[in-house]
Chain A
Amino acid sequence: MSDAITDQAAPAQGRWWIGLFLVIAVLVAIRAGMGEGMGRVYVQTETTRYASTTNEQGRVAWSAVADGTAGAVTIERDLFRTAGQFRAAESAAPGQQAIRVSWDRTIGLWLAAFFTLAVFSFLAGDNPAYKLTESIVIGVSAGYWMVVAFWETLVPKLLANLAPDMVKAWCMPNLEGGAFNPIALIPLGLGIMLLSQLTPLGRHVGRWPLAFVIGTFAGLKMVSHVESDIIEQVRATMLPLVAFEDDGSFAAWASIRNVLIIVGVLCTLAYFVFSVEHKGAVGRAARVGVWFLMITFGSAFGFTVMGRIALLAARFEFLFIDWLWLIDPKGERAMAVVAAATQLVP
């Protein structure tokens, strides 16, 4: 029976998908054909020449120099330009090549839009586009973090201590260089033992670096949590029950606030004491603590919603501004309909 229902639903699902894709494709085609088009990225090549000088200490320093300087090294890089800058350059010199469409970045932009829509498509149900996107991000994320860890930590802090001259010559020319530091063998050894977890023998060998990490982390956390989250938080809760203004007059609201905070902290802590039965005075205190917790969770929910909607707004802005070119609040394409940002209140 349930199979029959599922079978009946499948063609409807398929038609829904095909319809959705067609609508999106038609809208994109219409938009791409209208006016200035959409989804293009412009760049301009910045060419800088560098020449070296040697100071009194014998240190070589490179600085930017004018064109034609003898012995200068040239570095070229493509920098983003806006569609407005492209239009301005074209109107000044039609056919100019200084500011041009960057095809790799334009393809990247369209790919980014595809990935965005693919993830959104999960809302309608799991589908191959979403699965493909998910697979890609898993691989890319793992690779990205490895690369960052290598270049930002392992090279300057491990390899630079093990073979400073080699690292200086290879990729960190501003390093001082110097002798091999034997202490660096300790983290290297522990790291190799950690990586041995990928091998069948690693289960035993990998224990030591793991124990080192656990012990260090536990010691690190204990001190900071006790100092910051117990002592300082208790200190911050030691508030006067009767507060006074600077001029000596009684501050009613500040007093009420302080009493509420002290009562709230104590009652909420009472709720978390599970070794005493929540009856009598403890039970009443725990109940008040629950009310404080509910207000805390309600505010957490409100802020969480705020955060999620902001992230969603940012993605829609990418689709409408960067890809579809429907609006231009940043004035990057100098479209006539954009007004300067003004306040709503008269």
Chain B
Amino acid sequence: MSGLDRRWIYLAMMLAVALPILWNGVTGKTFPESPTPPSQACFDAIEALPEGSRVLVSFDYDPASEGELAPMATSFMRHLMHKRLKPVVIALWPLGPTKAEETIASVIKTDFPDRVNGKDFVNLGFQTGNEGVLKVIGTDFRKQFPVDRSGTPVDRLPIMEGITKAGDFPLVITISAGYPGGKEWVQYVSSSNPGLVLLAGVTGVQASQVYSYYPGQLRGMLAAIKGAAEYEALVSAAIDGDRVTAPKYTEARRRMAPQLFGHLLLIALIVLGNAMYFAQKRCKAVAP
């Protein structure tokens, strides 16, 4: 067993993830989700905003992390639209604006076609500079984002009326895969704007690091795909009630089944590896 070809482990992981996906695709069943406090805090923060509030949403991820973060982006956008809030979308990652366009197309243009670009939502695109961007928008938002993605000056957009700096937004949401992302938003925006509410949707890799900022500098957090599934469940309960939720809004919950079996496999591998290790150790101790 100690000489076990690693390809058998790869095959086991492949089956542990693939078979639940196929099972879910055939049955359509998902596990129930009960929210943890950081996910509930995200939901409550958006629920507390009055209709018409502008919300800054930052798409700080790329296709490499969309498996975890795209469901969060979709749920956030759906929740904002349902509450008639107005997302102002920016990005700190070069592929962020394209991910934002995909989310806008799948949520706003499909399910909320009455919302007008420039008035009810806007995509201001990406700017290079990482935390330099955050530093500038802290005092002069329009200097950093002078035009939207269509080239229309921000001064002419009704949605941006009265917005001069990041602190003018009552709520900021960052959907973050790494650097720059949740941590930088805490360091450069949240800490210097005590009244601003910051929410972060982060990958599993980042969740552990960013958790220390919760709940002081970070009001709420969606940690990895589980956080996305919890938030999805909250939004679905609030919007759909007992009706069946559209499949595009259950993506994170569908991924919890492969998650479960992947985790169980990993635990089994660790236990097996340790059992073999201690057995070999005992044999060596006993052998003359």
Contact = CB atoms under 8 A, between A and B. Distances in A.
Do A and B come into direct contact in the complex, CB within 8 Å? Answer: yes
Interface of A: 123-124, 144-145, 148-149, 152-153, 156-157, 160, 171-176, 216-217, 220-221, 224-225, 227-229, 232-233, 235-236, 296, 299-300, 303-317, 320-321, 326-331, 337-345
Given A216-B132, A305-B262, A342 B97 contact: no
B254 A306 contact: no
B255 to A, nearest CB: 5
B94 A310 contact: no
A157 B146 contact: yes
Contact of A299 (B18, B26, B28, B208): B208
Which 10 pairs across A and B sit closest by C-beta, in order of nearness?
A327-B25, A307-B204, A314-B67, A339-B28, A172-B151, A309-B262, A228-B191, A303-B204, A310-B225, A300-B208
Interface stretch (B47-55, B74-82, B122-130, B274-282): B122-130
Nearest to B253: A341
Contact of A310 (B18, B68, B212): B68
A307 B247 contact: no
B94 to A, nearest CB: 4
B255 A310 contact: yes
A327 B21 contact: yes
Given A309-B258, A329-B25, A152 B127 contact: yes
Interface string B231-258: 0000000000000110110100111001
A309 B217 CA distance: 29
A328 B26 CA distance: 8
Nearest to A301: B208
Given A321-B25, A340-B244, A174 B151 contact: yes
22 contacts: A123-B7, A172-B147, A174-B147, A175-B147, A175-B153, A224-B135, A227-B192, A228-B187, A236-B216, A300-B205, A306-B204, A306-B225, A306-B226, A306-B263, A307-B205, A310-B68, A312-B67, A313-B21, A316-B17, A320-B22, A328-B25, A339-B29
B125 A152 contact: yes
Contacts of A173: 151
Contacts of A317: 21, 254-255
A305 B263 contact: yes
Nearest to B124: A152
B131 A221 contact: yes
Given A173-B151, A313-B259, A342-B29, 14 more contacts: A152-B94, A221-B131, A227-B191, A227-B192, A236-B212, A303-B224, A306-B225, A307-B207, A308-B204, A313-B262, A314-B255, A316-B17, A317-B255, A328-B25
Contact of A156 (B151, B207, B250): B151
A64 to B, nearest CB: 12
Contacts of B94: 144-145, 148-149, 152
Contacts of A341: 28-30, 244-245, 247, 250, 253-254
Nearest to B31: A344
Contacts of B28: 329, 338-342
Contacts of B25: 320-321, 326-329, 338
B186 interface: yes
Q: Which of B29, B151, B250 has the most CB of A within 10 A?
A: B151
A153 B133 CA distance: 11
Contacts of A221: 131
Given A172-B151, A340-B244, A220 B67 contact: no
Contacts of B212: 233, 236
Interface in B108-143: 125-128, 131-132, 135
